[in-house]
Amino acid sequence: MNGKPEIHQQINRLRRILEYHNHRYHVLNSPEISDAEYDRLYRQLLDLEGLHPELVTPDSPTQRVGAEPQSGFSKVYHEVPMLSLGNAFSEAELQEFHRRVTSLAGTDDIEYVTELKIDGLAVSLTYENGILTRGATRGNGTEGEDVTSNLKTVRSIPLRLTGIPPSRLEVRGEAYLPLPAFRIMNESRADTGQDSFANPRNAAAGTLRQLDPKVAASRPLAFFAYSAVIDDAKSDITSQWDLLAFLMDCGFLVNPDRKLHRDIKGVTKYCRDWEKQRGTLPYEIDGVVVKVNSLAQQKKIGAVSREPRWAIAYKFQAATAITRLLEIRINVGRTGALIPYAVLDPVQLGGVTIKSATLHNEEDVRRKDIREGDTVVIKRAGDVIPQVVGPVLKKGTVRNDPFVYPERCPVCDAEVQKEDDGAFTYCLNRNCPAQRFESLKHFVSLEAMDIAGLGPQTLEKMLEMKIVTSPADLFSLTSEQILLLPGFKEKSASNLLESLEKSKSRDFPHILFALGIRHVGEVTARLLADAFRSIDNIKNAPREEIMAVPGIGPETADSINGFFRIRENLLQLDQLRKHGLRFELSGERKVPENNLPLEGKTVVITGTLDGYTRQEAKDAVAILGGKVSSSVSSKTDFLLVGANPGSKLAKARELRIGIIDANELERMMGKALK
Ligand code: IVH
């Protein structure tokens, strides 16, 4: 004996252990050992295989990387064609699909499975006796390319199946690049002067067609399995739902957000919900795939040309588009902040023409290196204002110089000053017309004083005619003055006077919010009103006392103190008071009562929440009765998600934890503090 059988056994044991931990990490998302421990075991296997190269097999975990660069890809013939799907662009088209299905199946009794339509590339994986022997792209459906070496680098693709696999199994699914990896990849490409990819799908396609598998290995693709070629006669799988369960048993990653529906009703809701929530996923989806669940019914319904008639892709409205950024311009906000925005070559996005998009702030433009003349990706999620995601860089194109921020206010030419860690520059002139206009707009808005009949054009005209220069002036308006404004008649003028009068009885928190103190949003205004009861108490409160209010941080406290140090603001307050506005809470102290929405719940926060600093969000949760914890576990009740969420989101999804956003939090606060 030369010890070979033992070595062989040892190698096999190590391989099984490594496969197990690979599966726990990349498929189940619940590792049991540290990366260092995994690496140690891996090196042990590598060493043993180095000593005994004759024992290396293609399914060894060491064979994921290391294949030699290729000169090209050989063609692969798909014996069972890889079909594509018909599209539905509306709920009506989904209903139409359902009618067709019931008529072809000869029954109304149809179950459906809905799956997220991952925006990646369809690939086919062939396993012989449980070992991955071939990985291919879809190509044109009948002929694709052999990209086995590249697909082997994908950690969520098992090199060897678990359970008792059939002698031959072809699994199909979507290879994709998760968003965090996509962002990192594009950043490093930009740093090294390479073209950036316009979207994760192109990046995934480029990766699969890499001739050097080492390059593919450096880009962490992932894979969701969604179908398999099975011989009905030999298999006891009778539905798509069971097929997905079988794929999981084989060791594949199957998307956790799949759903089985007894009828079409739930399908429509699923599509609608995911169209709204798509932005919370750590990968891109472009729709929902709706499939008839029963394989027998699928067979009966059949396919025409290259499309099955038992499945359809419900396509979402496009969320991103590519266009040219013509010019960067500056808006001056209510607080004097110089806010950059992009003037775009008009482009269609989600059914509307987009001509401009926000660039958030100076820091953002610098970080993303957005320049005039760039080709840019723009994004729209839900109803929010379109945003510029970033430039699409092509090698060899000559770019303009980075945008230079003005040294004076572009509206009033006053001096400007950088603040807030350089993210924003502010115009220091309190009389800046732009600031006056924005303050008035804010003051009359629905969430503030709720004064109907004062649109932006009217406000602008009032300022221009100098009949109004500050919010307090609104309450001295006479009907003669109003009648001088374009578009006003007797009736509309008296309506405006009436709504001005009515607004005087607005409660204190709304009035406080209407003042437009920097960092004092609706929620903060309510917190301040509750804690201090009157404007005078707030005015006289030292910084520490303001900061002691749960939900209020140092920046906000400074801004509040600063507001009351300015003489003009105090004069304005005086005038408003004279007009009868209430600057104190009336009646009983209102504290949130029982039925706090987050009573006894554990909440984890991730990402940047719109309208809240991290501290404010924590305090808001506390006010609502909840407890904030830092990591997601089975004990977490809710994940509070903002923009650019971290890995916590994926974890929460995996554990099926409830997900809420800033709007939801705001709603809860609104209810609890009413
Ligand atoms: S099923 C016969 N399921 O969408 C069914 N496709 O045009 C064929 N896709 O080429 C596909 N997620 O690349 C199916 N859960 C999913 C999918 C999915 C993404 C892609 C796939 C296919 C295209 C359909």
d(CA 345, CA 324): 5
Which pLDDT does position 130 carry in this prediction? 94
Binned at pLDDT 50, 70 and 90, residue 633 comes out as confident
| Residue 226 CB–ligand 1 contact under 6 Å | yes
521 lines ligand 1 (CB under 6 A): no
User: How many angstroms is it from 312 CA to the middle of ligand 1?
Assistant: 9
The predicted-structure confidence for 110-129, as pLDDT tens digits, reads as follows 999 999 999 999 999 999 99
Read off the pLDDT of each residue in 294-300 and give the average, rounded to a whole number: 95
The average pLDDT across 512-541 equals 91
Closest CA to ligand 1's atom 9 = 117
> In the annotation, is 4 catalytic?
no
Q: Evaluate if residue 337 carries a pLDDT over 70.
A: yes
Q: Is 123 in the pocket of ligand 1 (CB under 6 A)?
A: no
Higher pLDDT, 395 or 517: 517
Q: Which of 226, 257, 278 to mutate to test the pocket of ligand 1 (most atoms within 8 A of CB)?
A: 226
- Rounded to whole angstroms, the Cα distance separating 587 from 533 reads 10
Query: 85 in ligand 1 pocket by Cβ < 6 Å?
Result: yes
- Average the pLDDT over 604-610 and give the result: 84
Query: What is the per-residue pLDDT across 134-158, written as a single tens digit (0 to 9) for each?
Result: 999 998 899 999 999 999 999 999 9
Cα(353) to centroid(ligand 1), Å: 29
Pick the more confident residue, 615 or 237: 237
CB 222 within 8 A of CB 207: no
Range of lowest pLDDT (251-255, 315-319, 374-378, 475-479): 315-319
Q: Does 343 have pLDDT greater than 90?
A: yes
Q: What angle do CA 49, 216, 83 make, to 5 degrees?
A: 110
The pTM assigned to this predicted structure is: 0.59
Residue of 80, 85, 244, 285 to test ligand 1 pocket, by largest number of atoms within 8 Å of CB: 85
- Among 410, 420, 349, CA closest to 385: 349
- Using the structure block, give the residue that is written with the tokens 């990591």: 631
Look over the chain and give the mean of its residue pLDDT values, rounded to a whole number. Answer: 89
Nearest CA to ligand 1 atom 16: 117
**Would the CB of 118 count as within 6 Å of ligand 1?**
yes
* Dist. CA 224 → ligand 1 center (Å): 11
Q: Helix or strand or coil: residue 324?
A: strand
- Residue whose pair of structure tokens reads 């260092």 in the numeric block: 36
Instruction: Indicate whether residue 117 lines ligand 1 (CB < 6 A).
Output: yes
pLDDT for residue 582:
93
Q: In the prediction, which pLDDT does 592 show?
A: 47
Whether 608 shows a pLDDT value over 90: the answer reads no
Nearest Cα neighbor of 520 from 578, 423, 447, 589 is: 447
Handedness of CA 160, 161, 162, 167 (dihedral sign): negative
For a pocket test of ligand 1, which of 142, 289, 298, 309 has the largest count of ligand atoms closer than 8 A to its C-beta? 289
Q: Is the CB of residue 270 less than 8 Å from the CB of residue 261?
A: yes
Ligand 1: does its nearest atom lie under 6 Å from the Cβ of 289? yes
Residue 286 Cβ < 6 Å to ligand 1: no
- Taking 50 as the threshold, does the pLDDT of residue 6 lie above it? yes
Q: Quote the pLDDT of residue 533.
A: 94
Burial class for 91, CB neighbours closer than 10 Å (0-12, 13-18, 19+):
middle
